[in-house]
Amino acid sequence: MDIEQFRKAGYQAIDRICDYYYALEQSKVTVLPDVEPGYLRPLLPASAPESGEDFSQIADDYQKFIVPGYTHWQHPAFLAYFPAGFSFEGVLGDLYASSVSNPGFNWLASPSCTELESIVFDWASQMLGLSPSFLNSSGVGGGCFQNTASEAALVAIIAARSAYVAAYPDAKLEDMRIYTTTQTHSLGLKAGVILGLTVRALQVTREDNFSLRGETLRAALEEDKKMGLHPFILVATIGTTSSGAIDNIAEIKTVVKDHSEIKIHVDAAWAGMALVCPEFREMCYLKEINEIADSFCTNFHKWGLTNFDAAPMWVRDRKYLIDALDITPPFLRTAQGDAGTVIDYRNWHLGLGRRFRSVKLWFVLRGYGVEGFQKHIRKAVDFNKIFVDLVSSSDLLSLCAPPSLSLSVFRVNPKPATPDQSSLPEETLNDLNKLFYGRISSRKDIILTQTVLNGQFCIRLAIGSSRTQEAHIREAFELITQEAKLAYEAWAQ
């Protein structure tokens, strides 16, 4: 393809993308595609073509075979998992970034790539209310993109392990412990598997809304240390995946005063975006995060209007990462790196090359401004309040945990017809809810996610797609009620 062919194909691509978004807005497509596993292989040739093909044919095949297999994360009825951030500013940012195919691993590899990331991270850090210690401009702390929140946790654990082993050289790896809770995202266990380290998942309870309490942490630390074990990092969560639980960082702060060797990584992959609104900062323990977190991660690619992937991590002390990850063979040395006058982000993450993601975050931050972000977050929280009110007034549904920001967890739980009747036993409720979720999952016009909380099978509804409006929440509630009735009737027969 030459430059002029690219120009033509590019115009066509933008036209088709716009048509796609009009179709989504007008609900001309269902949120889930109508395809079965393995649908694609019979439609495509078994091997790559011997000679290059005309791009118009390739673009048409993309429309014909690939688009129909999308799950539409930007559909207004997408209420599963957590939302996937999107904005046209983000699309254009990615387009410009990929147009230079620039692996930006050190300053010299592309000065604008490094410098923009460093500046945009300071903007984002200020927008979230993070402490000035986390600013790149501080020269001590700083932040950069990791590939995902899972990788951010892995990097934080690697850094904490290095720091711990340097301070306690006699600690054996088999005695070292990563602390998470039973509600931590699978990233905790995955990091343990990758690093060959044991993970201790601290128990959290329904009474505490699945949040980690200080006393649980203190008891575990004392117990493990008495046994000669070495807990060295706690992965705390602001907004767990299952129920949006927020670990009690204020209590954790009090405990770690007596156990200063333990590092704290805060995984706020989803809920961290709520920090743009001052009214959510206290419930998310921003003040305490600013006081004790060694590292903090949130995902702009979830609730933050930015196309996948955009997973920033900030650290209080950049040496924490560099001491663990800086390996500099001669071919990676540069005069600027040797002089220590620049940031070489290759030493802050796992890979060498890195995508030029800061351009899209820059576009999105400028396109929306802080107010645009605040509006986006508040809108989702308000819609969730509407859903919660509807569930609370239903005879058929009940919440399984307090709503968290824009996430609700509920289940079918028919209210007894008369006060002397008792509710259905837990086992029966689980069977009923599996039946209900089976019905919901067989539909193409809504997508929700299942989870299990304290042995209860429940269903999550997560709001945050920019296209979702109040009417979509009311429609989703109607549809959920209808399926709940049908599931109950089928179960009662």
Q: How far is the CB of 425 from ligand PLP (least distance, A)?
A: 31
Q: Which neighbouring-strand residues pair with 28? A: none
Q: How far is the CB of 146 from ligand PLP (least distance, A)?
A: 8
The correct pick among 150, 243, 248, 358 for binding ligand PLP (CB under 6 A) is 150
Is 413 one of the binding residues for ligand PLP (CB under 6 A)?
no
Using CB under 6 A, which of 87, 118, 148, 408 touches ligand PLP?
Answer: 148
Based on CB atoms, which residue is closest to ligand PLP, 267 or 344? 267
- Site for ligand PLP (CB under 6 A): which residue of 216, 299, 433, 468? 299
Minimum distance, C-beta of residue 309 to ligand PLP, in the bound complex (Å): 7
Nearer Cβ to ligand PLP, position 87 or 241?
241
Beta pairing class for 311-315 and 263-268: unpaired
Residue number, 237 or 394, with CB nearest to ligand PLP: 237
Q: Is position 295 an interface residue for ligand PLP (rule: CB under 6 A)?
A: no
Q: Which of 114, 136, 216, 240 binds ligand PLP (CB under 6 A)?
A: 240
* φ and ψ at residue 112, rounded to 5 degrees: -70, -35
Binding segment for ligand PLP (CB under 6 A), chosen from 128-136, 160-168, 263-271, 347-355, is 263-271
Contacting ligand PLP (CB under 6 A), which of 113, 124, 158, 311?
311
Q: Does 247 bind ligand PLP (CB under 6 A)?
A: no
Residues 153-212 that bind ligand PLP (CB under 6 A): 185, 187
Does position 82 interact with ligand PLP (CB under 6 A)? The reply is yes
269 binds ligand PLP (CB under 6 A): yes
Of 276 and 484, nearer to ligand PLP (C-beta) is 276
Choose between 256 and 269: whose C-beta lies nearer to ligand PLP: 269
281: left (phi over 0), alpha (psi -120 to 50) or beta: alpha
In angstroms, the CA 176 to CA 448 distance is 38
User: Considering only residues 109, 135, 149, 202, which one is a binding residue for ligand PLP as defined by CB under 6 A?
Assistant: 149
Count of residues in contact with ligand PLP, rule CB under 6 A: 16
For residue 237, the minimal CB distance to ligand PLP (Å) is 5
Q: How far is CA 403 from the centre of its chain?
A: 18
Minimum CB separation of residue 242 from ligand PLP in Å reads 9
Class of residue 7 by CB neighbours under 10 A (exposed 0-12, middle 13-18, buried 19+): exposed
The stretch near ligand PLP (CB under 6 A) out of 266-274, 327-335, 365-373, 378-386 is 266-274
Q: Which residue reads 């770690």 in tokens?
A: 256
Closest CB to ligand PLP among residues 240, 290 = 240
Q: From 88-96, 111-119, 148-156, 342-350, give the range in contact with ligand PLP by CB under 6 A.
A: 148-156
Q: How many CB atoms lie within 10 A of CB 387?
A: 24
Considering only 180, 237, 248, 408, the residue that binds ligand PLP (CB under 6 A) is: 237
Q: Which residues bind ligand PLP (CB under 6 A)?
A: 81-82, 148-150, 185, 187, 237, 239-241, 267, 269-270, 299, 311
